[in-house]
């Protein structure tokens, strides 16, 4: 009987496992193999060179500079996105009305929910095109508004300035991501038991203390998962940057690892080295996910 049960389960798993191995595991293994060759991408010749590409990668200043840009984005974008999304979700979900706590959101919450989610509906490529015009130094809306209010001294070529180009792109990433994570946190807050909030109110806790000591600890899993997904997004960052700054920005100040990988493969014709870059980026992403998951498991609130 037990053997029949396992055979029945295996009959349902074998097809998904085969598909997963063929379409997910196999490309990873092929990429790792190609990273240990000098393949130029347009010929069948692949000379095995071992870890030579990885040794070159360790001393590649351009790679480490691009990784530094990814690292800066990893520090700023997830943190700012999560803070803004948490604030908006709290105000429209558990902030309450007339000083109450956990009794719905502030007045007009339903309207705000539509407004907050709208940026996520805009495709990232379209957002990149729109914001490229928004940051235009001559005809852009941003500089135009600054001139109208009398802050002409603040106008600049935002995407042409080595100091402000990367922050300008990060602002677009945050703008596009907040709506989705606002929905994630709102759903998490709506699933919390109301009796916990009622107990906090009876103990005299206000909105901030309730959020700090009740709401936040109980949605830690959602925050942790969101950080991982945001981290994966900014460690890539290819689509938006390739639309807004396809040449890596002024003096390479916005080039990220994914863009460097693309140019190495399709401009320089070094597919083996580009694969090594991709494998390194994949390892960094896995390390990030493991670190965040282990940090999140230290303190877990059950309800």
**What average pLDDT does the segment 63-71 reach?**
95
The answer as to whether 124 is a domain residue is yes
Q: What is the distance between the alpha carbons of residues 251 and 65, in angstroms, rounded to a whole number?
A: 12
- The domain that contains 128 carries what CATH number? 1.10.3720.10
Residue reference for tokens 């803004």:
84
Dihedral sign (CA 221, 222, 225, 226): negative
**What average pLDDT does the segment 90-105 reach?**
66
**What average pLDDT does the segment 209-232 reach?**
87
| 149-168 tens-digit pLDDT | 988 888 889 999 899 999 99
The answer as to whether 35 is a domain residue is no
CA distances to 64, 236, 301 from 24, in Å? 28, 18, 34
Mean pLDDT is lowest, of 3-7, 142-146, 161-165, for 3-7
pLDDT score, position 215: 81
Which residues, 6 or more positions from 236, have their beta carbon under 8 angstroms from its beta carbon? 256, 258
Helix, strand and coil in the chain, % to nearest 5:
75, 0, 25
What is the count of structural domains for the chain? 1
> pLDDT band for position 195 (50/70/90)?
confident
pLDDT score, position 300: 57
**What average pLDDT does the segment 164-177 reach?**
94
The answer as to whether 102 is a domain residue is yes
Neighbours of 92 (CB within 10 A): 21
Task: Give the DSSP letter of residue 212.
Answer: I
**What average pLDDT does the segment 234-240 reach?**
89
Angle, CA 272 vertex, CA 270 and CA 276 arms, to 5°: 115
pLDDT score, position 168: 94
The answer as to whether 37 is a domain residue is no
Average predicted confidence (pLDDT) for the chain: 86
The answer as to whether 17 is a domain residue is no
**What average pLDDT does the segment 56-77 reach?**
94
pLDDT score, position 53: 94
Nearest to 165 by CA among 72, 267, 228: 72
Domain that holds residue 104: 60-296
The answer as to whether 134 is a domain residue is yes
Q: What is the distance between the alpha carbons of residues 244 and 130, in angstroms, rounded to a whole number?
A: 9
pLDDT score, position 302: 58
**pTM as predicted:** 0.87
> pLDDT band for position 4 (50/70/90)?
low
With 60 as the cut, is the pLDDT of residue 98 above it? no
With 90 as the cut, is the pLDDT of residue 278 above it? yes
The answer as to whether 19 is a domain residue is no
The answer as to whether 215 is a domain residue is yes
With 70 as the cut, is the pLDDT of residue 3 above it? no
């Amino acid at each position: 009987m037990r053997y029949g049960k396992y055979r029945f389960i295996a009959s349902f798993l074998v097809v998904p496992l085969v598909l997963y191995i063929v379409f997910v595991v196999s490309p990873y293994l092929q990429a790792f193999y190609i990273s240990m060759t000098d393949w130029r991408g347009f010929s069948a010749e692949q000379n095995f060179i071992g870890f030579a590409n990885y040794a070159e990668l360790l001393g590649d200043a351009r790679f480490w500079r691009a990784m530094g840009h990814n690292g800066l984005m990893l520090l700023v974008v997830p943190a700012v996105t999560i803070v803004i999304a948490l604030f908006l979700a709290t105000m429209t979900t558990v902030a309450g009305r007339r000083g109450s706590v956990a009794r719905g959101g502030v007045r007009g919450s339903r309207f705000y929910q539509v407004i907050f989610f709208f940026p996520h509906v805009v495709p990232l490529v379209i957002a990149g095109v729109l914001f490229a015009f928004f940051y235009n130094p001559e005809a852009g809306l941003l500089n135009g508004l600054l001139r109208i209010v009398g802050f002409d001294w603040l106008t600049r070529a935002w995407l042409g300035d080595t100091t402000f180009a990367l922050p300008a792109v990060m602002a677009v990433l945050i703008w596009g991501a907040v709506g989705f994570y606002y929905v994630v946190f709102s759903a998490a807050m709506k699933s919390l038991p109301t009796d916990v909030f009622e107990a906090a109110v009876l103990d005299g806790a206000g909105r901030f203390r309730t959020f700090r000591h009740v709401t936040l600890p109980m949605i830690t899993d959602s925050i942790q998962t969101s950080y991982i997904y945001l981290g994966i997004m900014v460690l890539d960052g290819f689509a938006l940057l390739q639309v807004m700054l396809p040449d890596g920005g002024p003096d390479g100040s916005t080039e990220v690892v994914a863009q460097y990988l693309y140019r190495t493969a399709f401009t320089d014709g070094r597919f083996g080295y580009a694969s090594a870059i991709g494998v390194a980026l994949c390892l960094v992403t896995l390390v990030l996910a493991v670190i965040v998951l282990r940090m999140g498991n230290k303190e877990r609130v059950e309800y």
